[in-house]
Chains A and B, each alone.
Chain A
């Protein structure tokens, strides 16, 4: 069973802080993704990576960056957190086809 683990379930950060969200998968998947989930807006893709050190912007990359130094780990970075980045963040991985999601990190920026 593929496991995708997100390091924090809940986070509260202050405006302007640099925030790191970590995601680790244990099934050697090539592809990893970061989405944010907001009511009524579904899942919106922030960034994805199809290989180590490779990354591509999704639909809403502004204010975010990512890092993939190892195949199993994909980090989302909020360079300077703002209140409009308060959201649920979901990480996912896949080799082909269907995604396996992590449990999500609910981030509140105050």
Chain B
């Protein structure tokens, strides 16, 4: 079946450094790629998303890039802060219907003060 692979599973960075989380997907028809942040004990929340007609999208310190040819997309967090510590999930739509998502297994990001 279709799947999304996410790496690394854990990531530890020094405050102020950048963090990069990478995902690959298998369904060539996928056209929507959201990222979710889940703080400890809280619900996952959408932080940024990108559609297949766009190669990059930025929102303040976070950015997402998409390479449709390689079926890769990545989350970039610059100038990391302790409050960025959380589990991050990538997801890809199944087929061309953006309402059904397949999630990666998550990356636990720790930002050391």
Q: Interface on A for B, CB 8 Å cutoff?
A: 30-31, 35, 40-45, 48, 50, 59, 90, 94-104
Contacts and interface: CB of A to CB of B under 8 A. Distances in A.
Main secondary structure of the interface of B (DSSP, over half): strand
B99 A90 contact: no
Given A97-B32, A101-B44, A102-B43, A42 B104 contact: yes
Interface residues of B, number: 22
Contact of A96 (B42, B99, B104, B106): B99
Contact of A42 (B32, B46, B89, B99): B89
Given A31-B99, A103-B42, A59 B1 contact: yes
A104 B41 CA distance: 9
Contacts of A104: 43
Interface of B: 1, 6, 9, 32, 34, 36, 42-46, 49, 89, 98-106
Given A59-B1, A96-B98, A42 B43 contact: no
11 contacts: A41-B105, A42-B104, A43-B44, A43-B89, A43-B103, A44-B103, A48-B100, A98-B46, A99-B36, A101-B36, A101-B44
Nearest to A35: B103
Contacts of B104: 42
Contacts of B44: 43, 90, 99, 101
A100 B97 CA distance: 17
Contacts of B99: 30-31, 50, 94-97
